[in-house]
């Protein structure tokens, strides 16, 4: 038996990056999470603010929202998140973090500048002063470096993250959410694509990521499981990728369960904790494939599957 599973990087409510946010899709995708034993999700950015009915529906997983993506000019899909000027970013981040989190698009194209470090640091300070937390999307070396040096609470993806910064990352409590499975799903296409600087940069980043994740864990960084992909309910696959990268089996499990729950402010299997539990016929620490095959799912004290 495990505490309810957790996906800390998922975007329910959208069928793809090109589709608008939709309540019907949101309900379906949250149900997909629940039926896979994922009883707590963090949505680091969506196309709209999370509707009030989500928290009131006891049939759905608990949700921690980061509001709408915050994108400065040229750094995201136009119109998909909340587009703001650079000088508007700190105040907008405080507004979006009213529910606890905000998500900043820290970089975008591989050969263009990331959000400047001083601006990102100002944004993080403003949100922390208001009692919120900041997640930063970053895939370039500059973007990953700036997110960490700015004191972000979580680095989302972290491709090209400088390993020399990992000790500082651990000391300040910045978590790493590498989303390995979504990169892995795109790797075959990238390797087969036309040679060029963009392809080579992506491949170099991808090939370094497992080693970076392993080094981050060894340095004491909190490494967490997030999928960033569709269909929803596939966090078991992300846990498997963390184990493949070199995390011990229990750490890879915890990244998708008790470690992630504690990081988001919920207890695990302790007296008085919310009765969000997932049971298995075999121990996922010994049989990792079992994580995708829950035999019983209990949410808020009720058997739901």
Most confident of 75-79, 98-102, 121-125, 287-291: 121-125
CA 10/CA 117 separation, integer angstroms: 26
Closest CA to 25 of 56, 62, 51: 51
Band (48; pLDDT cuts 50, 70, 90): confident
17 has a pLDDT exceeding 80: no
The topology under which CATH files domain 2-271 is: TIM Barrel (3.20.20)
Calculate the dihedral angle through the C-alpha atoms of 261, 265, 266, 267, rounding to the nearest 10 degrees. Answer: 90
pLDDT tens per residue, range 78-122: 889 999 999 999 999 999 999 899 999 999 999 999 999 999 999
Global pTM value: 0.97
* 238-286 pLDDT, tens digit each: 999 999 999 999 999 999 999 999 999 999 999 999 999 999 999 999 9
User: Which tokens hold the place of 112?
Assistant: 């263009």
Each domain of the chain, given as residue ranges in start order, spans: 2-271
pLDDT tens-place string over residues 216-228: 999 999 999 999 9
For β-strands 2-3 and 277-279, DSSP reports them as antiparallel
């Amino acid at each position: 038996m495990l505490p309810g599973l957790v996906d800390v990087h998922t975007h329910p409510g959208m069928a793809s990056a090109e589709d608008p946010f939709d309540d019907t899709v949101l309900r379906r995708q949250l149900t997909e999470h629940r039926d896979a034993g994922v009883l707590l999700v963090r949505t680091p950015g969506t196309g709209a603010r999370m509707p009030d009915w989500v928290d009131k529906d006891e049939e759905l997983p608990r949700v921690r929202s980061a509001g709408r993506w915050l994108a400065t000019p040229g750094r995201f899909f136009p119109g998909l998140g909340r587009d703001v000027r650079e000088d508007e970013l700190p105040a907008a981040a405080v507004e979006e973090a009213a529910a606890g989190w905000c998500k900043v698009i820290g970089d975008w194209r591989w050969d263009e500048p990331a959000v400047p470090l001083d601006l990102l640091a100002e944004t993080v300070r403003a949100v922390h002063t208001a009692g919120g937390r900041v997640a930063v999307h970053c895939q370039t070396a500059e973007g990953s470096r700036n997110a960490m040096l700015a004191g972000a609470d979580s680095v989302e993806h972290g491709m090209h993250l400088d390993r020399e910064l990992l000790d500082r990352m651990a000391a300040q409590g910045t978590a790493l959410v590498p989303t390995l499975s979504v990169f892995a799903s795109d790797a075959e296409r990238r390797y087969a694509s036309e040679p060029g600087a963009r392809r080579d940069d992506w491949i170099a980043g991808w090939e370094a990521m497992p080693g970076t994740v392993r080094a981050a864990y060894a340095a004491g960084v909190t490494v967490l499981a997030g999928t960033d992909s569709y269909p929803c309910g596939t966090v078991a696959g992300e846990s498997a990728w963390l184990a493949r990268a070199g995390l011990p089996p229990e750490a890879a499990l915890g990244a998708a369960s008790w470690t992630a729950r504690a990081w988001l402010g919920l207890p695990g299997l302790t007296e008085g904790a919310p009765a969000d539990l997932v049971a298995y016929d075999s121990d996922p620490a010994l049989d990792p494939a079992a994580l995708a095959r829950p035999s019983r799912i209990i949410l808020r004290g009720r058997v739901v599957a």
